[in-house]
Every structure is written in C-alpha cells, then in structure tokens.
Amino acid sequence: MISVYYFGAISLILIGLYAVLVKKNLLKMLIGLSIMETGVNLLLVSVGYVAGRSAPILSEGIGPNQAVDPIPQALVLTAIVIGVATTAMALSVAMILHEKYGTLNVEEIRRLRG
C-alpha cells in the first residue's frame, strides 16, 4: 500500500519537472513547480508513515510507541507555508513581467530584454 504513495509522489515530481523544463509559458512553469512541491510533500509524509500507528495527538490509550514520528508532518506543514509564500511572490513577479513585456513566454521575454 505504501508503494502506491511513493509511486504517486514520484509521478507528481516528474510531471512538475517536465512542466518546468519543457514549457515556455511562465505560468505553466510555476504550476509545474507547484505540482513538484506537492509531490515532494507527499513523499515526505509517506516516508514518515508507519502502518498500524496513529497520529501523534495526546489522548488516552495512545503511548509513544503507538504514534508515528511527528517530525515529517511538521516539516511538510512548514514546507506548505513556505511554498504558498514563494508561489505568491513568483506570481507577482509574473504579473510585473506581463505588464512590462506584454507576454509570459520566457524566450520572448529574453529576446525583448536585449
């Protein structure tokens, strides 16, 4: 069952990498980066999962040996917040580039820049 999550995470990473490397439109490249980030987050969460254990929430009947490691979950939550902030900043840069050059094609922007 875990291998399905690994396969999904690696698939998302490769789809995002394809979009970043092949697409010429800046928005499509940013969407590819976002998809790749989602794949990395899924990979981190699936690495931290242990079958038969529960979430590390303080409750009766659950001891330290019956809970999964909370570090990967905390890292993914932090990565999600950083990813949203980075994506918002990249989108604002894309808006400024579109206002200045009138296009989001990376090759066209390089040509117009001089």
Q: Tell me: the pLDDT tens digits for 83-100?
A: 999 999 999 999 999 999
> Is residue 79 pLDDT above 70, yes or no?
yes
Residue 13 maps to a domain:
yes
Is 99 a domain residue? yes
- C-alpha–C-alpha distance, residues 79 and 87, integer Å: 12
Q: Per the domain annotation, does 60 fall within a domain?
A: no
On whether residue 15 sits in a domain, the answer given is yes
**In which domain, by residue range, is 27 found?**
1-50+68-113
Identify whether 62 is part of a domain. Answer: no
Angle, in degrees to the nearest 10, between helices 106-113 and 71-101:
50
Q: What is the pLDDT at residue 51?
A: 78
Quick check: is 73 in a domain?
Answer: yes
With contact defined as beta carbons under 8 Å apart, do 87 and 34 qualify?
yes
- Global confidence as pTM: 0.85
Number of domains in the chain: 1
CATH number for 10: 1.10.287.3510
